[in-house]
Chains A and B, each alone.
Chain A
Amino acid sequence: MANADIRNLLQQEESGVRKPSFKWYKTMASKKIIILGIESTAHTFGCGIVDEYGSILADTRAVYVPEKGGIHPREAAQHHSTYGPKVVKEALLKANISMRDISAIAIALGPGLGPCLRSGATIARALAVYFSKPLIPVNHAVAHIEIGKKLTGAKDPLIVYVSGGNTIIAAFSGGRYRVFGETLDIALGNCLDVFAREIGLAPPYIVEGLHVVDKCAEKGEEIIDLPYVVKGEDLSYSGLLTAALRKAKEPGVKLEDLCLSFRENAYNMLVEAAERALAHTKKKEVLLTGGVGASPILQEKLRLMVREHNAELYITPKKYMGDNGVMVAWTGVLLYKSGITVNVKESFIKQRWRLDEVDIPWQK
């Protein structure tokens, strides 16, 4: 190992991260690193197995689908506890390896829903203790970014991370992903889903690969005036949601027009904030990740915007855009190589673990 790496490790030791053991150095030198990653921050319980080169050996998931309404945290957690062990077992079977071949367990400790995080963390801790494997603490948002970078080949992108629980525009700078803009209240995915549910379009939320709001908007013609809230590079979606739901009750408002206006507002706000951040940071790459990124309409809007700034748009493959275990495992590989693990006793879940609190030692 190079001197610089060792110096890094010493610094991390001071900052409270567990000191790498002799065993760690030994594994680093001898064996190929294989990480098992567990994701359980929201509705998906995912397990991924990835080797140090980023080859995906297994990717298994179980998704909690609420019968009505949104995610109920307790029910989702019960779902994860029930199906979690099966998903992990299946992943091992698929990768055709045993726990002995696994170098370490990576677990997404946050941000997310408390009960869900807890059930995933319990499984990960149990595995780590029983098989005496190191435990790697992974930030869910970092995992989304890292898998996107790995699969698209983006080097230093402006990151647009949109999902049911997150709407973040970030970029790497000074050892961390710095947040340039984010939602001040609810996330874009949350906003779209609640709107669709309340006006009776959903569930199901996705039909033929399109969100039901996108689908309904296809037939819209008129633009209805709705709040468009961009504050610098920050966004706010709650006002848009309330106003749109209120409009839906008014007589004479065509649902298609409302969907079109709602979607235009929601997406354009995000694209404008991203454009502001792009003009500000002058990055040459933009990476789209997170579940909402699967929307072809949003992708097209971003592509048009990015082209104007002579940058390139990288879109995370659809399969890995939503929550999955592979992204946790891959980020686990990066962390493990940097010597970052956590003591099981201190592996608390962090519901509010911000993206910009995580040191990223593997990027310069």
Chain B
Amino acid sequence: MAKIDLEINIGKLISKGAEANIYIGKFLGYKAIFKKRTPKPYRNLKFDLNLRVRRTINEAKMLHYARREGIPVPTLFYFDIKETLIVMEFIEGSLLSLTIKDLSINVLKEMFLRAGEIMAKLHSNQIVHGDFTTSNIINTGKELVVIDFGLSKKSPELEEHAIDMHLLLRSLESTHYNIVDYVRDYIIEGYGNIIGVNYSKKVYERMLEIRRRGRYVKERRKKV
């Protein structure tokens, strides 16, 4: 295959996430995010490489799927399996998790309605995000953009959809425990607007069931 020279310019490290380093730079003149999955010293070497490659391919694929279906995600520019690198569009804005405390009640409502809608759009296209938390949503001011598809997969199953819902609510319960009771209904409402109220009820029920399955959960007894 002919080698293509790409004008790539990896700039400075802006964030060190749990599984990847995020750099900001230029790709063919566009401002871009470079997500590089680095080896983890605590993992067995073969295991580590396997996991990183699999996740890189997966994330690139899912970003592409989501984009194709018109879901607000960063555009995939380029990916390199050998380098376990993904290059994507830079999204101007701030993480929802960081700005939540400055938002007014009305804006909060809008935000979480929208978050629910985006989740429903992903699910109606059989995409499960796998880590749908406020730390993975960028608020651009006009729109919410979902990032980090490292744990995502294709699945039409109710169970997986319910886990996405569980993760979003769990992240709110642990980090934004003071607003969770207020926004919970809006998330469900937004979700139902897109995917249908019946299905959203089913997802919520299943989510409660998943929680009941865990150890030491109070709710479990009621049903038995």
Whether B78 sits at the interface, judged by CB under 8 Å, is no
Taking CB as reference atom, which chain A residue is nearest B171? A232
Q: Knowing A182-B214, A232-B133, A354-B218 touch, does A174 contact B43 (C-beta < 8 A)? A: no
- Contacting residues, chain A, for B68 (C-beta < 8 A): none
Q: Is B220's CB under 8 angstroms from A352's CB? A: yes
Taking residues whose C-beta sits less than 8 angstroms from the other chain, chain B's interface range is 35 or more
- Contacting residues, chain A, for B40 (C-beta < 8 A): 268, 304-305, 308
Whether B210 sits at the interface, judged by CB under 8 Å, is yes
Whether B174 sits at the interface, judged by CB under 8 Å, is yes
- Selected A-B contacts with CB under 8 Å, 29 pairs: A110-B216, A166-B216, A173-B174, A174-B177, A178-B173, A179-B170, A184-B210, A184-B214, A185-B213, A185-B214, A185-B215, A231-B163, A232-B130, A232-B133, A232-B151, A261-B47, A264-B43, A272-B19, A280-B18, A301-B42, A304-B41, A305-B41, A308-B16, A308-B41, A352-B220, A353-B218, A354-B217, A354-B218, A357-B218
Whether B46 sits at the interface, judged by CB under 8 Å, is yes
Q: How far is the CB of B182 from chain A (nearest CB, A)?
A: 16
Whether A279 sits at the interface, judged by CB under 8 Å, is yes
Report A304-323 CB contacts with B as 1/0, cut-off 8 Å. Answer: 11001100000000000000
Instruction: Give Cα distance in the complex from A26 to B204, angstroms.
Output: 51
Instruction: Give Cα distance in the complex from A279 to B150, angstroms.
Output: 15
Whether A180 sits at the interface, judged by CB under 8 Å, is yes
Q: Is B42's CB under 8 angstroms from A178's CB? A: no
Q: Is B41's CB under 8 angstroms from A231's CB? A: no
Cross-interface CB contact of B18 among A187, A261, A279, A357, cutoff 8 Å: A279
- Contacting residues, chain A, for B210 (C-beta < 8 A): 184
Report B5-42 CB contacts with A as 1/0, cut-off 8 Å. Answer: 00000000000111100000000000000000000111
- Contacting residues, chain B, for A300 (C-beta < 8 A): 42
Q: Is A351's CB under 8 angstroms from B216's CB? A: yes
Instruction: Give Cα distance in the complex from A173 to B175, angstroms.
Output: 8
Q: Knowing A278-B18, A300-B42, A304-B41 touch, does A178 contact B47 (C-beta < 8 A)? A: no
Interface residues of B (CB under 8 A from A): 16-19, 40-44, 46-47, 50-51, 130-133, 135, 151, 163, 166-167, 170-171, 173-175, 177-178, 210, 213-218, 220-221
Instruction: Give Cα distance in the complex from A276 to B177, angstroms.
Output: 19
- Contacting residues, chain B, for A193 (C-beta < 8 A): none
Instruction: Give Cα distance in the complex from A234 to B167, angstroms.
Output: 8
Instruction: Give Cα distance in the complex from A322 to B17, angstroms.
Output: 32
Instruction: Give Cα distance in the complex from A230 to B58, angstroms.
Output: 15
The 3 closest A-B pairs by CB, nearest first: A111-B216, A301-B42, A232-B167
Whether A85 sits at the interface, judged by CB under 8 Å, is no
Q: Knowing A228-B51, A351-B216 touch, does A174 contact B178 (C-beta < 8 A)? A: yes
- Contacting residues, chain B, for A309 (C-beta < 8 A): 16
Instruction: Give Cα distance in the complex from A100 to B98, angstroms.
Output: 53
Report A178-210 CB contacts with B as 1/0, cut-off 8 Å. Answer: 111011111100000000000000000000000
Q: Is B174's CB under 8 angstroms from A178's CB? A: yes
Q: Is B42's CB under 8 angstroms from A271's CB? A: yes
Q: Is B16's CB under 8 angstroms from A304's CB? A: no
Taking CB as reference atom, which chain A residue is nearest B48? A268
Q: Is B174's CB under 8 angstroms from A180's CB? A: yes
Cross-interface CB contact of A183 among B43, B51, B167, B214, cutoff 8 Å: B214
Q: Is B43's CB under 8 angstroms from A268's CB? A: yes
- Contacting residues, chain B, for A225 (C-beta < 8 A): 50
Taking CB as reference atom, which chain A residue is nearest B131? A232
Taking CB as reference atom, which chain B residue is nearest A140? B216
Cross-interface CB contact of A264 among B44, B170, B214, cutoff 8 Å: B44
Instruction: Give Cα distance in the complex from A231 to B131, angstroms.
Output: 6
Instruction: Give Cα distance in the complex from A223 to B221, angstroms.
Output: 40
Whether A302 sits at the interface, judged by CB under 8 Å, is yes
Q: Is B214's CB under 8 angstroms from A178's CB? A: no
- Contacting residues, chain A, for B175 (C-beta < 8 A): 173, 178, 280
Whether A275 sits at the interface, judged by CB under 8 Å, is yes
Taking CB as reference atom, which chain B residue is nearest A267? B42
Instruction: Give Cα distance in the complex from A183 to B18, angstroms.
Output: 19
Q: How far is the CB of A275 from chain B (nearest CB, A)?
A: 4
- Contacting residues, chain B, for A110 (C-beta < 8 A): 216
